[in-house]
Amino acid sequence: MRVTNDPLEAALALAECHLAAVPTETVYGLGARADDAHAIAQIYVAKGRPANHPLIAHLPNIEALDAWGKDIPDFARALAEAFWPGPLTLVIKRTDRAGDFLTGAQDSVAVRVSAHPLMQTVQQELVRITGDASIAIAAPSANRFGQVSPTSADHVKQELGMFLSANDVILDGGDCEIGLESTIIDCTGTQPQLLRPGAITIEQVEQTTGMTCTHDSQVRASGTLDSHYSPRAEVRLVTQQELEAGDYTNSAARIGLLASADITTPIGLVRLAEPTSTDEYARILYWALREADALELRNVLAVSPESHGLGTAILDRLSRAAHPK
CATH of the domain at 9: 3.90.870.10
Do 143 and 106 lie in one domain? The reply is yes
Find all residues with CB under 8 Å of 229, minimum gap 6, and list them: 146, 147, 148, 149, 223, 286, 289, 317, 320, 321
CA angle 175, 180, 185 (to 5 degrees): 140
Check whether residue 124 and residue 70 sit in a common domain: yes
Residue 222 has pLDDT above 90, yes or no: no
Domain-ending residue, one of 176, 209, 242: 209
State whether 137 and 46 are in the same domain.
yes
Between the CA of residue 230 and those of 25, 80, 120, 147, 223, what are the distances in Å? 21, 31, 29, 5, 11
d(CA 325, CA 322): 8
Whether 219 is in a domain gets the answer no
Question: Does one domain contain both 22 and 128?
Answer: yes
Number of domains, the chain: 2
Pair (25, 132) in one structural domain:
yes
- pLDDT tens figures, 270-304: 999 999 999 999 999 999 999 999 999 999 999 99
Calculate ∠ Cα 165-168-173, nearest 5°.
135
Give, in order, the Cα–Cα distances in Å from 22 to each of 76, 131, 156, 229, 314.
Answer: 26, 21, 10, 19, 23
In angstroms, the CA 151 to CA 148 distance is 9
State mean pLDDT over 249-278: 91
127-144 residue pLDDT tens: 999 999 999 999 999 999
Same domain, 249 and 185: no
Give yes or no: residues 202 and 240 share one domain. no
The verdict on 253 and 114 lying in the same domain is no
Q: Is residue 191 located within the same domain as residue 266? A: no
Residue 215 lies in a domain: no
pLDDT for 227 equals: 74
| pLDDT for res 252 | 66
Residues 204, 239 within the same domain = no
Domain ranges, residue 188: 2-209
Statement to judge: residues 170 and 41 lie in one domain: yes
pTM: 0.95
Q: Is residue 81 part of a domain?
A: yes
Q: Shortest CA distance to 226 belongs to which of 321, 98, 118, 301?
A: 321
Look up the CATH number of the domain holding residue 259. Answer: 3.40.50.11030
- State pLDDT tens for residues 145-186: 889 999 999 999 999 999 999 999 999 999 999 999 999 999
